[in-house]
Amino acid sequence: MTREPVLLPVEPSVMQWLRESAGWTTSEVSGKLGLQEESYLRFERGEKKPTLRQIMLLAKAFKRPMAAFLLSVPQQESALPQDFRKLPKDKREFGRKMRRVFRKARWLQETSNELMSNLNINLDPAIKRYRLSDNPSRIADGEREASAIALEMQMKWKSPYAAFASWREYVESKNIRVFQISMPIEEARGFSLTDAKPNVIVVNSADDINARIFTLFHEYAHILLAKTSVCIPEFGQSDDSGEIAMVERWCNKFAADFLLPQVAREYICRNASSIDVGKLSSKLKVSKYALMIRMVEFGVISGQQLNEFLTKVPKAPTGKKGGFGKGMTQLDKAKQEKGNGYLSLVMENLDRGMINTKDALDYLSVRMKYLEKIKSKEKGAKNA
Res. 382: pLDDT tops 90 = no
Res. 176: pLDDT tops 90 = yes
**Do 165 and 224 lie in a common domain?**
yes
Q: Report if residue 127 sits inside a domain.
A: yes
What domain range is 38 assigned to? Answer: 12-70
**Do 337 and 206 lie in a common domain?**
no
**Do 285 and 198 lie in a common domain?**
yes
**Do 364 and 257 lie in a common domain?**
no
**Do 183 and 229 lie in a common domain?**
yes
pLDDT bucket at 91, cuts 50 / 70 / 90: low
> What's the burial of 258, exposed, middle or buried (CB within 10 Å: 0-12/13-18/19+)?
buried
Q: Which of 159-163, 207-211, 368-372 has the weakest average pLDDT?
A: 368-372
Res. 45: pLDDT tops 70 = yes
The strand pairing partners of 202, in sequence order, are 179, 191
**Do 342 and 217 lie in a common domain?**
no
**Do 89 and 126 lie in a common domain?**
yes
Residue-wise pLDDT for 103-148, tens only, equals 999 999 999 999 999 999 999 999 999 999 999 999 999 999 999 9
**Do 338 and 251 lie in a common domain?**
no
Res. 379: pLDDT tops 80 = no
End of a domain among 256, 280, 312?
Answer: 312
Whole-model pTM? 0.85
**Do 165 and 299 lie in a common domain?**
yes
Tell how many helices (H) and how many strands (E) occur in the chain.
17, 5
Residue 322: per-residue pLDDT:
47
**Do 337 and 248 lie in a common domain?**
no
Residue-wise pLDDT for 178-223, tens only, equals 999 999 988 899 999 999 999 999 999 999 999 999 999 999 999 9
How many structural domains compose the chain?
Answer: 3
Q: Give the whole-angstrom CA distance, residue 216 versus residue 202.
A: 8
Residue 315: per-residue pLDDT:
54
What average pLDDT does the chain have? 89
**Do 176 and 198 lie in a common domain?**
yes
pLDDT bucket at 321, cuts 50 / 70 / 90: very low
Q: Quote the Cα angle for 300-302-307, to 5°.
A: 130
Q: Report if residue 112 sits inside a domain.
A: no
Residue 319: per-residue pLDDT:
44
**Do 367 and 242 lie in a common domain?**
no
